[in-house]
Amino acid sequence: MSLDHDIAIYSMPGHLIRRLNQVAVSLFHDECAKAGHDLTPVQYAALKAVQKYPGIDQASLAGAIAYDRTTLGGVVARLEEKGLIRREASPLDRRVRRLTLTAAGEALIVELDPLVLRTQDLMLTGLDTAERATFLALLSKAAEAGNDLSRAPLRPYEPK
């Protein structure tokens, strides 16, 4: 199928990135639903970051997954309601909430990791191996170059 490229936005990077994001989110939701789970890509990203950095605080988690700090509070609350993470006050600063996975959160990640890898493959359908490598390298380069222009920049977590 050849798409009509007469409308100017069809060749604009922002439009194409949004469309590919729609594909990615749709695939993620479909695969999660087939497995019997109600989880968003952002919730999965949060779980993966908490898995990698047990005890990470909410503000650092926002930077680690490049997500708005205010909105992340709702994401964390939903993960806590689902019994996937625990929020505990830091012994050093009671205002800081430290996050850890529950056993259910760990088990869910183990179950979802292969599914998520499959969706990554599906979203790049139509690209051969070399094209995928090039696309990912360029996408990464563009995201990194624009990081500081984002309202929610990626801020890699460095445990203290």
Q: How would you label 12-29 residue by residue, b for 16+ Cβ within 10 Å and e otherwise?
A: eeeeeeeeeeeebeebbb
Gap between the Cα atoms of 99 and 51, Å rounded: 9
The encoded tokens of residue 109 equal 């990640």
Please tell me the predicted confidence (pLDDT) of residue 96: 81
What pLDDT, in 10s, does the model give residues 136-148?
A: 999 999 999 999 9
Give the mean pLDDT of the chain: 93
Please tell me the predicted confidence (pLDDT) of residue 124: 95
**Percentage, residues of the chain above pLDDT 90:** 86
Q: pLDDT at residue 60 above 80?
A: yes
The encoded tokens of residue 84 equal 């996937």
What pLDDT, in 10s, does the model give residues 82-92?
A: 999 999 987 77
